[in-house]
Amino acid sequence: MHSSWLVEMASIWAFHASTRVEEDCVFPLEAVHEYWLKNRVRFNGWNSMLTFQSKRIRSVSMAHRAQAWRKTKRVIEEALLAEPLARITVAVAARLEARQIDNDARAILHSVYMSHQEVRNRCLRIIADGLERGSQEAEELNSLRSYLEHWTDMLLGYFVKTSESHQYAHSPKRVEDFASEYGERHLGDQSKIIWSLLIASCRAWLNKHVEHEPISPRINQQISEAALGMLHPDLFDSMGLMRTHLVHRIEKGLEQAGETLQRLDDGTWETMSSVLVGSEAKATVRFSV
């Protein structure tokens, strides 16, 4: 599984978080523990690879430096792509804890978040060093970092009160700005259409700017399944596998969102204003999960 899917998983979490809270649903601890465990395995792998490649980046050999940067870029890219989910999950858990719905999940998810910040700080130091040396890879990673920070803050602005999101936001001020524009209460009945377009736009950007060589595809998939298990435990059968008909629904929703963006790009769709607010807006276009 490519790590860019983790960004979409964070988007799914943000979109469905309020329903989770309003229904007073606690997170299944089995899924929470699985999420923590698989993240721990991935953190160990990232740290090991970063330690090894960081030394090679400083090699006197230009060929060794170039090879090390290519491998390091894949690790840092995956860590950056995984961060939105780490922040969104713990922000949702914080909201549940604040409402005294679930008093257990936040501590575990906060541990995942803190471990991710340690890896993030290592990555940012490597990026900063690369920027000073004029590395093209570092410039590309820095662009990805900036984009994902904005996307994460927009997700936080959609579903949480600003006071609850400050700890997990990149920019509390930006979260407030996004909340006033994209908050679920402001979007109302148009939220599904708008979010299908936003997610499709995010996917298109990532497809253009992200390498398609994940470091840990199997672990990414296991983490995503655990994240879905926390949000919607009924998505899985007694063997812990996602139900087949739901897999088809997700795939269909991704296809529809992609087609929507393509039609917007090539000019065959109605104007954006008619899609979002027009009385004849195509309400069937949605991100089905």
State pLDDT tens for residues 224-267.
989 988 876 655 444 444 444 444 454 455 555 455 445 545 54
Instruction: Give the number of other CB atoms < 10 A from CB of residue 70.
Output: 13
User: Which percentage of the chain shows pLDDT scores above 70?
Assistant: 72
Q: Is the pTM of this model over 0.85?
A: no
**Looking at the predicted structure, is the pLDDT value of residue 268 above 80?**
no
User: How confident is the model over 263-276, as a mean pLDDT?
Assistant: 41
State pLDDT tens for residues 162-217.
576 788 999 988 888 887 776 655 666 676 777 778 888 898 899 889 976 788 99
Q: How far apart are CA 261 and CA 258, in angstroms?
A: 5
State pLDDT tens for residues 85-122.
999 999 989 888 888 888 889 999 999 999 999 999 99
Mean pLDDT check: name the lowest of 10-24, 163-177, 271-285: 271-285
Q: Where are the domains of the chain?
A: 5-277
Give the burial class of 288: count Cβ atoms within 10 A of its Cβ; 0-12 exposed, 13-18 middle, 19 or more buried: middle
